[in-house]
Structures are given as C-alpha cells and as structure tokens.
Amino acid sequence: MSSELIELINYRISRSRETLLEAETMLQSGFLNGSINRTYYACYYAISALLLKHDIKTQTQRS
C-alpha cells in the first residue's frame, strides 16, 4: 500500500471522526436534521476509507 493511499485512508477516518463530533454537537443543540446529515457523512467517510483499505472498487449507478 502506497504512502499516498495510507494518507488518504487516514484523512477519511479523521474526517469521519470530526464529522461525527459535529453530529453530536448538532444533536445536543436540537438540530436533528443537521445531526442526521452529519452522521450520514461520517458513515460515508468511514466506509470510503474501509473500501480503500481493502482495495474494493465501486461504481455509481446511472439511470
């Protein structure tokens, strides 16, 4: 695994953790929809890091 890929994986995990903290803060402040949005993106960042780590390629579905 290249150092660039490791750096990208670490960045996405970091973004996931930071975004989850944003979600918690928004929830505590009563912003439920904003909290759900940030939780979605926290999951997105974590899953994208996991896919990169295991060299799993994805495709977008076009209609």
Domain with 14 in it: 3-53
Residue 38 counted as domain residue: yes
For residue range 20-44, what is the model confidence (pLDDT) as tens digits? 999 999 999 999 999 999 999 999 9
Asked whether the beta carbons of 17 and 41 are under 8 A apart, the reply is no
**Cβ neighbours for 16, distance < 8 A, ≥ 6 positions apart:** 42, 43, 45, 46, 49
| Enclosing H/E stretch for 41 | helix 32-53
Does pLDDT of 62 surpass 70?
no
- Distance, CA of 27 to chain centre: 18
Quote the mean pLDDT of the chain: 94
pTM comes to 0.85
Residue 15 counted as domain residue: yes
Residue 16 counted as domain residue: yes
- How far is 14 from 45, CA to CA, in rounded Å? 9
